[in-house]
Amino acid sequence: MPGQASQIWQNWQDSWDRQQEWYLPDREERFRVMLDAVEAVAGPEPRVLDLACGTGSITDRLLKRFPGAVSTGVDLDPALLTIARGYFEGDRRVEFVVADLRTPDWTARLPYDSYDCVLTATALHWLQPEPLKELYGQIAGVVRDGGVFMNADHMPDPSTPRLNELAKEQDRVRREREKAAGVLDWEEWWATAKADPVLAEPTAERYAIYGAHADGEVQTEAWHAAALRSAGFGEARSVWRSVTDAVVLGLK
């Protein structure tokens, strides 16, 4: 039954959100800040590129807030794209593209030449610095003049080591409490996906591509802002910040 299938994908989407929120308790706040900027730049009908889209978390919130928006989700993960396609099945506002952001020609797969906004969250720390700089240059090529790119990710500030330790301890206590209440962590979530009849094969493919986790590197918000300016963005700065994470915006 279509309704049953829809509920299955909704459950996977919800499960992914809970697992991500275990690591990022202010995840919804950063999404809100990003969508506020989208509205300021492009109004209620933006054309958005959801970069390293995963299950489509950004696209989901985008379309709920802006029903007139269109979104292109780009990812390489077969399991997360399976969930995304199932969840958004029949929605003509959404298109998904399989592409490796580490290759120079990934933008050729996109259905549009340019976008009002390119958004990504908790994904680009999987890349090493030089490939990330190259990616920023490619992103600058698909953001229209006056458009924006926003990256919400881990961006530590090493200038506050005592504050960082306090936040780390506070987060440890929170995670223990939520884990006792049944929240799945990264490894447990993927074990559940691996055991699912529909997701087992794409999850195996996913592990063949990435392994347990890609070998990336986190950078400071100042590093990201400088890299975006070097890539061709006229202005770049952080527009949101927690102790451990930030949203950096580049304005074309």
Given pLDDT bands bounded at 50, 70 and 90, which one contains residue 2?
A: very low
- What's the pLDDT score for residue 216? 78
4 has pLDDT over 90? no
What predicted TM-score, i.e. pTM, was given to this entire model? 0.95
How many angstroms separate the CA atoms of 170 and 179, rounded? Answer: 14
Tell me: the pLDDT tens digits for 105-155? 999 999 999 999 999 999 999 999 999 999 999 999 999 999 999 999 999
- What's the pLDDT score for residue 92? 96
Is the separation of the CB atoms in 131 and 102 below 8 Å?
yes
Is the separation of the CB atoms in 203 and 194 below 8 Å?
yes
Is the separation of the CB atoms in 54 and 76 below 8 Å?
no
| 240: β partners | 247
How many angstroms separate the CA atoms of 39 and 66, rounded? Answer: 9
How many angstroms separate the CA atoms of 60 and 173, rounded? Answer: 30
Mean pLDDT score of the chain? 95
| 75: β partners | 98
How many angstroms separate the CA atoms of 61 and 46, rounded? Answer: 13
Alpha helices in the chain (DSSP H): 2-23, 27-42, 57-65, 78-87, 129-142, 161-180, 186-195, 200-210, 221-231
Output the domain CATH number for residue 219.
Answer: 3.40.50.150
84 has pLDDT over 70? yes
- What's the domain count of the chain? 1
Across 30-34, 153-157, 207-211, least confident range: 207-211
Domain that holds residue 79: 2-251
